[in-house]
Copies of this chain bind each other. A is one copy, B any other.
């Protein structure tokens, strides 16, 4: 059984979700977090919805055994295709990143023309479009899959790398032609590309759903009366399905500070 003392589970296909954990740990400094990155099977964004669902349920099974009090799906692809399955399986609140991202875009747009970029699986699912239209059906939504952004970030070609700049120009051209004024970064890797993207989109507002997701998690814990008790010191534990050394090396870029040593866990067929 979980209680307010229990940890919060946070997971992603790899290290990208650490941008979300970072916002969570900053907004909820008394909470304990268990982060799982499925680095043995990363990426999810190019895989079929069936595989993504199966992988996600295996991670959920692990987090259930750890008696988490809530699960944050810090992965846009999983949030897009597996949220109903996870909610059915887990006896605790399950929060994704898409609804908060859509909400932030609605608050930001002035012209009602919103762009969304993400992995192939996220864009194909139509989940962001649906989430935006559930909030306001009059908004115009334009989507573009950007499969090369994740490998470019993992290669470390961020900042103002000329290749990344050229790729960003190609991917964003059709969205800019639609005169969007707001762009949802629908993948947890993309916040690391902010400086490149800003150069390409100029005045367009970039929406990174991490902070909005952290706020949504806090509201839900408050509402359910399961916030960590006053005075406790929070912590983060890290688990990966591939080499934990590589996980911590790559992870600190996303987490913004050093990670405690991660531990390897076995997720398959659990």
Query: Looking at the complex, which of A103-111, A145-153, A255-263 is the stretch in contact with chain B?
Result: A145-153
List, in ascending order, chain B residues with CB within 8 A of A151's CB. Answer: 147-148, 150-151
Chain B residues near A152 (CB-CB < 8 A) = 148
User: What mask results when residues 14 to 52 of chain A are scored 1 for a CB within 8 Å of chain B, else 0?
Assistant: 000000000000000000000000011110001110110
A222 within 8 Å of B (CB atoms): no
A237 at the interface (CB under 8 A from B): no
Of B39, B163, B268, B269, the residue contacting A166 (CB under 8 A) is: B163
In contact, A50 and B155 (Cβ under 8 angstroms): no
Query: In whole angstroms, how far apart are the Cα atoms of A46 and B154 in the complex?
Result: 10
With both beta carbons as reference points, the residue of chain B lying nearest to A162 in the complex is identified as B166
A167 at the interface (CB under 8 A from B): yes
Neighbouring B residues of A150 by C-beta, 8 Å: 151
The residue that A48 contacts in the complex, of B41, B167, B242, with Cβ under 8 A, is B242
Shortest Cβ distance from A270 into chain B, in angstroms? 9
Given A51-B40, A243-B48; A155-B148 close (CB under 8 Å): yes
Q: A166-B166, A167-B163, A268-B269 are in contact. Are A242 and B47 (CB under 8 A)?
A: yes
Given A41-B41, A151-B151, A163-B167, A48:B246 Cβ within 8 A: yes
Chain B residues near A51 (CB-CB < 8 A)? 40, 241-243
Within 8 A of B (CB), among A132-157: 147-148, 150-152, 154-155, 157
A241's nearest neighbour on chain B, judged by CB, is B51
| A162 and B50 alpha carbons, distance in the complex (Å) | 35
Q: Are B163 and A243 in contact (CB under 8 A)?
A: no
Known contacts A148-B152, A151-B148, A269-B269, A243 near B40 by CB under 8 Å: no
Minimal beta-carbon separation of A12 from chain B (angstroms): 16
Q: List 7 A-B contacts (CB under 8 A).
A: A47-B242, A50-B243, A148-B148, A162-B166, A163-B170, A268-B269, A269-B269
Instruction: Knowing that A40-B41, A147-B151 touch, tell me 19 more A-B residue pairs with CB under 8 angstroms.
Output: A39-B47, A40-B51, A41-B41, A42-B46, A46-B154, A47-B243, A48-B243, A50-B243, A51-B241, A51-B242, A147-B155, A148-B151, A148-B155, A150-B151, A162-B166, A163-B166, A163-B170, A166-B166, A268-B268
- Interface of A toward B, CB cutoff 8 Å: 39-42, 46-48, 50-51, 147-148, 150-152, 154-155, 157, 162-163, 166-167, 170, 241-243, 246, 268-269
4 closest A-B pairs by beta carbon, nearest first, are A269-B269, A48-B243, A268-B268, A151-B151
